[in-house]
Amino acid sequence: MIPSVLPTYNRAPLHFVKGEGAWLTEADGRRFLDLGSGIAVNALGHAHPALVKALTDQAQNLWHVSNLYHIPQQQALADKLVEHTFADTVFFTNSGTEACELAVKMARKYFYDKGQPERVEILTFDGSFHGRSSAGIAAAGSEKMVKGFGPLLPGFVHLTFGDLDGVTNAITEKTAAILIEPVQGEGGIRPVPDVELKALRQICDDHGLLLILDEVQCGMGRTGRLFAHEWAGITPDIMMVAKGIGGGFPLGAVLATEEAASGMTAGTHGSTYGGNPLGCAVGCAVMDHIADPTFLAEVNRKAALLRQRLEGLVAAHPDVFEEVRGSGLMLGLKCKAPNLDVVKAGYDNLVITVPAADNVIRLLPPLTLTEDDIAEAFTRLDAAASQVEAV
């Protein structure tokens, strides 16, 4: 008999009932160190007092109004995002994949309005992940995601990750945009080197294309800058954001330049919940913390400490791990042992990590991780690795 919850997930036998900082409590009382943050969502950890206050204060006043009316919390969050990024304008969604939908629509509408309606194609890369909506799966294009779900949304050209010549060769009079994650998350924590991001920006400029960055996983302070592309000194035309921006409340956004957003006039897009007062009140509190340079400096300091410990872990367990990769607190351990075995051994040793493609386990801890948490992370991952070795 089919379970009452549609069985689309392979769930671990864990039932968390409470969270605090980087710690999760299981229904049976065990305390787990959370190095996954709900897959890069709980950027400020669990139950951060400022977020609890923002949510509960807002909940006592107004939960929801339609986007038929002005929403002050939405305006405030958009202003903060515009102030701290390349963007001139923001549309709020509830998730990353909805941000993908709009990014694609926005790019196509831009060229349509410029009198180039044939420019509909978007270049994407293998190993990418842009969510599970029709545009998201068509953009990623992997067999695992698209099989059985045809006909797919047309207009995506899938290229080899890291092959810049392939990008140039793929550009035709139909090309509208390049869509890329500055650091692939689901694909196995694969950062795009700064020189490559710069080159992609240049290719877009040379060919009049839009650069769309998917910072759903790598954005919001995760790599130690507010957004990951800042390390490369470039800016996109359109950017997808979600996960960390709501700190655990469902919230996403598309940020864009005035030029790239020029086609999105009244009536061209909308959302019932996107930009709702609850989500945006929380988003404002998240931004107030993460956009603070002192906070980001701390992320970088802790990232260096964690990375150092992980390098030691890899050296101590050469049969289990191959290398540390990633940027800031978006780290991956490329495994030699099956990554799912390592994640499972982590559960046994009360530490949460997240599997990814390419036999990697992801460490996406709360950005508020403490030095004690880092020491605990090492101890627990070390025990997990020893358990894998013993089998």
Ligand X SMILES: Cc1ncc(COP(=O)(O)O)c(C=O)c1O
Q: How many CB atoms lie within 10 A of CB 155?
A: 18
For the CB of residue 214, give the shortest distance to ligand X in the complex, in Å. 5
For the record, the structure tokens of 277 come out as 């007062």
Residues 15-74 that bind ligand X (CB under 6 A): 39
CB nearer to ligand X: give 39 or 157.
39
d(Cα 391, Cα 125) in Å, to the nearest integer?
37
Q: How many residues bind ligand X (CB under 6 A)?
A: 14
Mention every residue, 6+ apart, whose C-beta is less than 8 A from residue 131: 95, 96, 97, 98, 99, 100, 137, 216
For the CB of residue 187, give the shortest distance to ligand X in the complex, in Å. 9
d(Cα 13, Cα 30) in Å, to the nearest integer?
13
For the record, the structure tokens of 67 come out as 């986007």
For the CB of residue 232, give the shortest distance to ligand X in the complex, in Å. 17
Write the DSSP assignment of 50-91 as a string of letters.
HHHHHHHHHHHH-S---TTS--HHHHHHHHHHHHHSS-SEEE
- Dihedral sign computed on CA atoms, order 169, 174, 178, 184: negative
Which DSSP helix (H) or strand (E) runs through 252?
strand 252-256
Residue of closest CB approach to ligand X: 96
Residues 329-348 that bind ligand X (CB under 6 A): none
Stretch that binds ligand X, among 153-161, 165-173, 213-221, 264-272 (CB under 6 A): 213-221
Phi, psi dihedrals of residue 341, rounded to the nearest 5° = -65, -40
- Dihedral sign computed on CA atoms, order 290, 295, 300, 306: negative
Residues 96-135 that bind ligand X (CB under 6 A): 96-97, 129-131
Known binding-site positions for pyridoxal 5'-phosphate: 96-97, 129, 214-217, 272
Of 356, 389, 375, the closest CA to residue 33 belongs to 375
For the CB of residue 241, give the shortest distance to ligand X in the complex, in Å. 10
Which one of residues 74, 95, 339, 349 is an interface residue with ligand X (CB under 6 A)?
A: 95
CB nearer to ligand X: give 74 or 97.
97
Residues 155-184 that bind ligand X (CB under 6 A): 181
Contact between 216 and ligand X by CB under 6 A: the answer reads yes
CB nearer to ligand X: give 216 or 374.
216
For the CB of residue 249, give the shortest distance to ligand X in the complex, in Å. 12
Which one of residues 73, 217, 339, 368 is an interface residue with ligand X (CB under 6 A)?
A: 217
Known binding-site positions: 96-97, 129, 132, 214-217, 271-272
Binding positions for ligand X, rule: CB under 6 A: 39, 95-97, 129-131, 181, 185-186, 214, 216-217, 242
